[in-house]
Each structure stands twice: as structure tokens, then as C-alpha cells.
Amino acid sequence: MTDEIRFEHISMEFPGVLANDDISLSIRNGEVFALVGENGAGKSTLMNILYGINTPTAGELYVRGEKVTNFSPKAAIDRGIGMVHQHFMLVPSFTVAQNIVLGREPKNAGVLFDNRKAEKLTRELVEEYGLEVDPSAEVRDISVGLQQRVEILKTLYRGADILILDEPTAVLTPQETDELFEVIRRIVREKQMTVIIITHKLYEVMAISDRVGVMRQGRLIGVENTCDVDERKLASMMVGRPVLFDHLEKTGTPGEVAIKVDDLYVADNRGLPAVRGVSLEVRRGEVLGIAAIEGNGQSELLEAITGLRKINRGKVSVCGKDAANKTPGEIRALGLSHVPEDRLSTGVDKAASVADNLLIGRQKEKRFNLFGFHQRRSTVERYASELYQKFDIRGAGIRTEVGSMSGGNMQKVVVAREFTFDTPVLVISQPTRGVDIGAMEFFHTRIIEKRNEGAAILLSSADLDEVFRLSDRIITLYEGKITGEFRADEITKEEIGLYMTGTGEGAKA
């Protein structure tokens, strides 16, 4: 085997973030190389350099021994590199065939686009690689799994022999994942392709890769032969220390029911059913965790409960009062606070100051108003400064724009605001996404404090360890349905994993 790709001392800095820090790495011809690391570890940035989307700030890149000087996707395509991005790069209104040939269209008489030939070429590829998909279907009408196939076919059409897959399984069902892995094995075996797969799911690394590189905070921590390591070893490399947090002291016994959801149906953005008949209860003084792979209805469920999304059928009550299809403001008035999944789009006003972001929700309180309308800026700033210190927000003070802060500090602003409402119900989604380990511990402690004080907490997180650590009870969601409910201390992560993929006991029977 020879070196297909060589990174030499590659660094990439974005404004304020060193995304890649002095990375040297070789990837061999004909191997499946897995690149693992937490969110924000710099995996995608490194691969975007390989694909020419990013030009590295420093360092060199060699492809088949040749130094890369021209960083552009076009040049990368010409070098035989194909990339399937995490967010698919497809034109929704174009057909499958039109998407595949985009940029290298077959032509009729040298001028007109030859749709028939495009579909014929697509069909040939479909047959050659066994990736079944209808060439004439519009991309917006086909499932996510099929869209991913279109992405792969696209790179193959362009003659790629190096294939980069950026978190390809995040949106796939287990069956689709199995099929994808089958395809990867086939193209490596039969076509001698080199495949780089970015992931943070360790069992996938074990299942598919020959070698694995671990990244953490922009650095490459190590490269191993997959057969020489196990998941535990990789996990400790990823987080930089053995995954072992201090024990969180949980006290008290659950009280009355504060969130009650009954036979709930909710649609996703495309109008497809995302939540299908979910019923659950959360009591005061307990944390109910939702374990699910992204895209199985957990986001829609929480949005429906908090009033951000329309409920098609079913009941929701908060603190004993009907909360179905009310506005977020009305539901908050019932006694609910919400740390939303996407803090940038929902949790903050990026253009506003820290103080303004901390104030919202309380702006009508008497102490902040003179004569009921004049905003008392000094009182607002004093209040904001208190929270700023209490929640250990670090930045250039309460007058800085929130948009210029790091993810962790931005999240602290959100948590500071929402937790200070002291409501009996807390809905928390992805509390530590993109947050460093130190801050993570901070958020966990705060959440358990709230629990011990008697709040009913509904928690959703993509981080299974987090769900385990914080929850008293765990439910698993799969394709919008609850597939299991457990006490957190009576089940293992491995078992939960089965239920999350719809292959648990219930599904098997």
C-alpha cells in the first residue's frame, strides 16, 4: 500500500477558532480510514481542506505524492476526490440524474442538455454499483437514505477514487447504515477506492474501518489500526481522559406529574409525521431523558410541547393545564422554561447584547420599567451582571454581542436566562452540544441542582453518556414512536442502543 494522501503540518484558523492545529497524517491507497472525534474537533474542517473548500492557513497537502497548490472543489474533483457532505449538496428541484451529472452534463449536438443520456448514465452507475435509485425522480421527493445514494453516485460519476463521507450515518436508519457499509466494502474491494469516513459513532469505526485517526480540539491525537484498539480506548482518546465524571448527587423523590403528553402526533417541516402517538409523563424532581438517533422525532416532540410546532393530534398538559397548540409565551406562563436545541437560531438574538439576551422574558417586570414603559437600563445591566457572574459567563462583558461569543458561553447565556425563571418544568435539548468538557460539567451540575430542587426536567441529547448521567428514567424514540422505557440504573448503553435503532426486544418479537 502506498500513501494516497498526506497532510503535513496543516493548520486552519477561522476567526477566533483554531479548527486544525498542526496536523500531519497519511492515508493509504485502498483503505477505509475512519476519522473520529467529538463535535467541533476539526474533522470536517480537515476534510474540507482535502476537498478544496477550505484553503489551509499553514501546512502542505499531497495527493498521490503531488503537492496541492490550488485549493478548489473543481481541482479536487479533477484529482479524483469526491465528498459526501453532512448536509447534502443536492439541488432539490432537479431530478436524481440531473443532480448526478451537474457540472459535467452530457450534451445533445454540443448545446442542449441531454436528459435521456443523463438518465442512461445514471442507470449504468446504479447497476454497476448496485445503488438502486430512480434517475427521473425529483430529489426533494425521495428519502434521505436515497439522497445519500445520489450523493455517492455523484462522486462516482465524476470518477472519484478517493471518497470522503462526512458523518454519513447520522441521518440513516440501521438498515440503511448496513446497506451503506456494504456499498463501501464493495467499492473498496472491487474498485480499489480509498474511503475516509468521518464519524463520532465508535461501533461504526470498529465495523467498517481499517485504520482510525482520533481528533480532539483541532489536534490529531493518534492513529491506530482498528484491530489494535477497542471502543473504550478510542473513547478515552477522544475526550482526553478516561470517561469518568464525578458522581452527581441526586436527592429527593419524584412528586406530582408536571408534564403529561398523551398520544401525540406532530409533523416535521416537510409535513411528514415525525412524532407518532407518543405518550409520556414527567414528575417533579425527576429527569426524563430521551435517547434517539438524530431525526427520529425528538426535536419535533420537544418543539410541540414548548409551542414552537403545531400539534396535529393528542394532548399536552403542563402543570395540569392544557398546553396543546398554545404559543410559546402562553406555555411559558404555565410554568415552563426551555433550553432549545439550536441556540443560534432559537436560543439567542446574536445581534443583541448579553444583557438584552438575559433580560428577555422579564422585560415587563416592574423593576425594569419606569412608569410601565421606560426601560431602566441601569437596573437591567445590574441584573445582567449578577447573572453573568453567577453563571460564570466568560467574555468581554454584558454589552458584547452574543454572536461574537464561543458556543459554551453562548449556551451559558441561554441557561442563565432559562434557569433563573425557576419554573416547575424545564425542557432541555442538547445542553452541551459544541461545548467543551469543563463547561459540560458545569451544565450537568446545574441541571441536577434544578432536579433536586424539584423541577420536572425533560431532556434530549445526542450524547448517550449525557442522557445516562443525568436521567432518572430514559425513553427511546425510533421513527417517532417510543420503543422502550427504562430506569437509568437498570439498563446498559448497549441495550439502549438496540432500542434506539428499533432492533430492541420489542421490535424483535
Residues 388-447 that bind other proteins (CB under 8 A): none
Assess 91 for contact with other proteins (CB under 8 A).
yes
Residue range at the interface with other proteins (CB under 8 A); choices 27-35, 256-264, 337-345, 450-458 = 337-345
Among 24, 70, 225, 363, binds other proteins (CB under 8 A): 363
Q: Give the whole-angstrom CA distance, residue 287 versus residue 457.
A: 5
DSSP 137-190: SBGGGS-HHHHHHHHHHHHHHTT-SEEEEESTTTT--HHHHHHHHHHHHHHHHH
Residue 102 lies near other proteins (rule: CB under 8 A): yes
The phi-psi region of residue 300 (left if phi > 0; otherwise alpha if psi is between -120 and 50; otherwise beta) is: alpha
Strand-pairing partners, residue 6, are: 26, 62
Is residue 163 involved in binding other proteins (CB under 8 A)?
no
CB of 18: closest distance to other proteins in angstroms? Answer: 7
Residue 217 as a binder of other proteins (CB under 8 A): the answer is: no
Site string for other proteins, 20-49 (x = CB under 8 A): --x---------------------------
Contacts of 331 (CB under 8 A, 6+ apart): 305, 306, 307, 318, 323
For residues 209 and 231, the answer to whether their CB atoms sit within 8 Å is no
Nearer to other proteins among residue 338 and residue 450 (C-beta):
338
C-alpha dihedral sign at 263, 268, 272, 274: negative
Q: How many CA atoms lie within 13 A of 21 on its CB side?
A: 12
The two beta strands, 257-267 and 369-370, are unpaired
Is there binding between residue 85 and other proteins (CB under 8 A)? yes
Query: Judged by CB, which is closer to other proteins: 395, or 497?
Result: 395
DSSP code per residue over 276-324? EEEEEEEETTEEEEEE--TTSSHHHHHHHHHTSS-EEEEEEEETTEE-T
The x, y and z cell numbers of residue 15, run together, are 476567526
Could you say which of 267, 313, 325, 436 contacts other proteins (CB under 8 A)? 267
Q: Does 206 bind other proteins (CB under 8 A)?
A: no
CB of 211 to other proteins, least distance (A): 26
Quick one: how far is CA 10 from the chain centroid?
25
- The strand pair at 286-291 and 473-478 is best described as parallel
* 349 near other proteins, judged by CB under 8 A: yes
235 scored as a contact of other proteins (CB under 8 A): no
Kindly determine how many residues on this chain lie close enough to bind other proteins according to the rule CB under 8 A. Answer: 68
**Span near other proteins by CB under 8 A; candidates 165-173, 271-279, 292-300, 452-460:** 271-279
Check: CB of residue 277 under 8 Å from CB of residue 242. no
Q: How large is the angle between the packed helices 437-452 and 407-420, nearest 10 degrees? A: 10
**405 versus 488: smaller Cβ distance to other proteins:** 405
Instruction: Decide: is 170 part of the binding site for other proteins (CB under 8 A).
Output: no
The interface region with other proteins, picked from 172-180, 331-339, 452-460, 501-509 by CB under 8 A, is 331-339
**Residue 338 makes contact with other proteins by CB under 8 A:** yes
Residues that bind other proteins in the complex, under the rule CB under 8 A: 9, 11, 13-15, 18, 22, 51, 53, 57-58, 72-74, 77-78, 83, 85, 89-94, 98-99, 102-105, 107, 111-113, 141, 267, 270-273, 306, 308, 327-329, 332-333, 338, 340, 345-352, 356, 359-361, 363-364, 368-369, 373-375
